[in-house]
Amino acid sequence: MKVRTILHVDANSFYASVECLHRPEIRDKAVAVGGDASLRHGIILAKNQKAKAMGVKTGEALWQARQKCPDLVILTPNYPLYLRFSRILREIFYEYSDLVEPFGLDEAWIDVTGSTGLFGGGGIIAEELRKRIKKEVGITVSIGVANNKIFSKLGSDIKKPDAVTEITPSNYRQLVWPLPASDLLYVGPATGRKLHCYGINTIGDLAKADPAFLHRLLGKMGYVLHGFANGLDNSPVERLGEEAVIKSIGNGTTTPRDLVCDEDVRIVYWSLCESVASRLRQHGFLCRGVQICVRDNRLVSFERQTRLDRPTCVSCDIFDAAMVLFRKSYDWANPIRSIGVRAINLVGPHTAIQTSLFEDEERLSKREKLDIAVDDIRRRFGHFSIHRAVMLRDHALGGINPTEHTIHPVGYFKPSG
């Protein structure tokens, strides 16, 4: 069996790089892309190298960044522009392989196993891509080369910016194992803290740990992470069409003011769930599950998910599931700063659905037709041309336009059946 050659391409400081490309007057300045402080979206989303050299960090508050760099140029995000450049990058990738799997707007895996006979080895292809993107697009990328997706992603992080790193079976112990365990995909803050409590601080520590112990500590992910640390990852780079890139459809927002009761949450969730359901219908999907995320005013967050009795693209079904999850999961110890909802486990519109003796099928059909009618009105006359009466109870919360906060997260693991 032929050894795979996988590239992971990561556009350096993508949002900020694209902005500087389009605004020559700021290219020599420290630049960051961030939210709108007046709407409480006041964090740094991306920064260029000059801002990074001044200590500006992704995720920190705008006021903190300005303290470090008083002359920092902060721009609001221009997602249509970033989407355009993401597509341009993908068109270049397709010249080398049709096996391209995006991981967000600024990252993608490319399986070039079948292309090495035409273009040379993985390192040669990566160098050619790096130079072409710099010359033809005007931004820089870092590329990791390995025989699996996990190590290729690590490779793209090891040297930044504008670099290529090859991780091989002969050098991964020297390159990968000294890295912090948190650098490994799917080792989040909570998992990292658990591992640290038991002296597992590096990827090498994780690779050498007893798999049975990791299973007891982390469940099935213990085995998965142990395999990842040892370079054991057979997950394919999926050939994705225009719509297949969407593994789930979500929507979240930082609210204009803190949410302090269930009624506040209901108003915002109605807005978000309508947007998610509309996107499902737009892309021809039904969801079989709903996930919520909640962050309080101390910036402590959590996620919960549930499976639905039947696939749906109806806003009230998604809203009902989201509110049930929320009421089960939150005790109002603190006000809430931001919330989100996501439709997960997506299936096509022609998926067989088991009808129920206890459901009014005609009523369910009418709900979907009503949502479709609302979609049409908003498409013709604008989002606020029609909305639910509950939105009028609080003009600040009811005035959120969810179409300005839509996201399409891409998961590493394929959703389970």
**R_g of the chain, CA atoms, integer Å:** 23
User: Using CA atoms, how far apart are residues 218 and 238, in angstroms rounded to an integer?
Assistant: 27
**In whole angstroms, what separates CA 47 from the centre of its chain?**
18
Q: How far apart are CA 276 and CA 407, in angstroms?
A: 9
Q: Kindly report the CA angle at 157 between 213 and 4, in degrees rounded to 5?
A: 75
Beta strands across the sheet bearing 249-259: 301-312, 286-296, 336-347, 249-259, 406-407
Q: What's the rounded Cα separation, in Å, for the pair 105 and 13?
A: 12
Its sign, for the CA torsion 183, 187, 188, 190, is: negative
Dist CA 46 CA 44 (whole Å): 6
Q: Active-site positions?
A: 107
Per-residue burial over 128-165, b if 16 or more Cβ lie within 10 Å, else e, is ebbeebeeebebbbbbbbbbbbbbbbbbbeeebbbbbb
